[in-house]
Amino acid sequence: MKTIKGPGLFLAQFAGDAAPFNTFDGITRWAADCGYAGVQIPSWDGRLIDLDKAATSKTYCDELTGIARQNGVAITELSTHLQGQLVAVHPAYDMGFDGFAAPGVRGNPKARQAWATDQVRKALTASRNLGLTEHATFSGALAWPYMYPWPQRPAGLVEAAFDELARRWKPILDHAEECGVDVCYEIHPGEDLHDGVTYEMFLERVGNHARANMLYDPSHYLLQCLDYLDHIDIYKDRIKMFHVKDAEFNPTGRQGVYGGYQSWVNRAGRFRSLGDGQVDFGAIFSKMAANDFGGWAVVEWECCLKHPEDGAREGADFVKAHIIRVTERAFDDFADGGTDDKANRKMLGLEG
């Protein structure tokens, strides 16, 4: 068995224009001071990383790694959540997602998709240059507007969407294979890959590609009323990344899963700081240890109530308290009888 690494912190929710959050040096010093051992970098944030340079310069990547190490943390993974989202966008979401793209490709869906694909490929190359083996992203979505089957979906609609999604991602996955990096899709509402069934639909279409893996985040499963513990056992061989994020679901007589278009504070389902929600992290960390997950436990802080810096500091301690240092021997080894094959056969009555 392997001991989970951590705690790590996803920096996307903390990067900003004021020090120490506006430079990689400053934010990594701050993360280490909060108690983190690793940081996950949002590749779209130029204040923290120059993605073009990281994809072309091993020297630059060594400098980034050195800054992190000097400040007391490791780089855990890169993320292309925003760029991955743009690999596949239904026209209904063109305006909503356009702001994720570089200014030069906004308003041009074909150019935006090409830009997004190139961004993910660059991030995979940069991951290789940084010595990383996992990469976080979103799948994007073509079928999501038809998630609820009313009006009735025409035959073949969803199949066509997943065929196209796989067509767009297969070359990226092949590039990931060349880089020796796993693409870990965060299974997330709003993406076509939003639960186990949809992940399997995609996986089948990319030929069970070895690099098409999962980022496990139980908060999104709790808010879908999905069994997030059984999910670990089902997909243990595909779960390569872990976001530690809490949530709560408190349905009322007025609202449930869909939330009535309310703000995060007023939804029945909402994200919470670690320990303030309903996710059973004791059981999750136990299953991860039993299933030999040796990756990073990375805090993705999202909460509609608590201040982010408080949530970050509490999150580091929370993860430290939940990581299980796995045992190297059985607890009852003291009672080992020191038997052998001959003795075993005798115990079974197979020898006189």
Question: Could you report the per-residue pLDDT of 337-346, keeping only the tens digit for each?
Answer: 677 888 888 8
**CA-to-CA distance for 35 and 37, rounded, in angstroms?**
7
Tokens of 45: 């944030």
Separation CA 272–CA 175 (nearest Å)? 36
HSE-CB at 87 with a 13 A cutoff on CA atoms is 31
Render pLDDT for 226-268 as a digit per residue (tens, 0 to 9). 999 999 999 999 999 999 999 999 999 999 999 999 999 999 9
CA gyration radius for the chain? Answer: 22
Instruction: Give me the pLDDT at residue 127, please.
Output: 98
CB atoms within 10 A of CB 282: 11
| pLDDT for the residue numbered 335 | 61
pLDDT profile of the chain (352 residues), mean per 10 = 95 98 98 98 98 98 98 98 98 97 98 98 98 98 97 97 98 98 98 98 98 98 98 98 98 97 97 98 97 97 96 98 86 68 86 68
What pLDDT shows up at residue 201? 98
pLDDT number for residue 41: 98
* pTM metric for this prediction: 0.95
Question: In angstroms, rounded to a whole number, what is the distance separating the alpha carbons of residues 240 and 2?
Answer: 13
Give the architecture (CATH level 2) of 5-347. Alpha-Beta Barrel (3.20)
- pLDDT at position 338: 72
pLDDT digits (tens, 9 = 90+) for 125-176: 999 999 999 999 999 999 999 999 999 999 999 999 999 999 999 999 999 9
* Residue 195 confidence (pLDDT): 98
pLDDT score, position 155: 97
pLDDT at 244: 98
| Structure confidence at residue 331 (pLDDT) | 65
Residue type (1 letter), 68: A
Quote the pLDDT of residue 351.
77
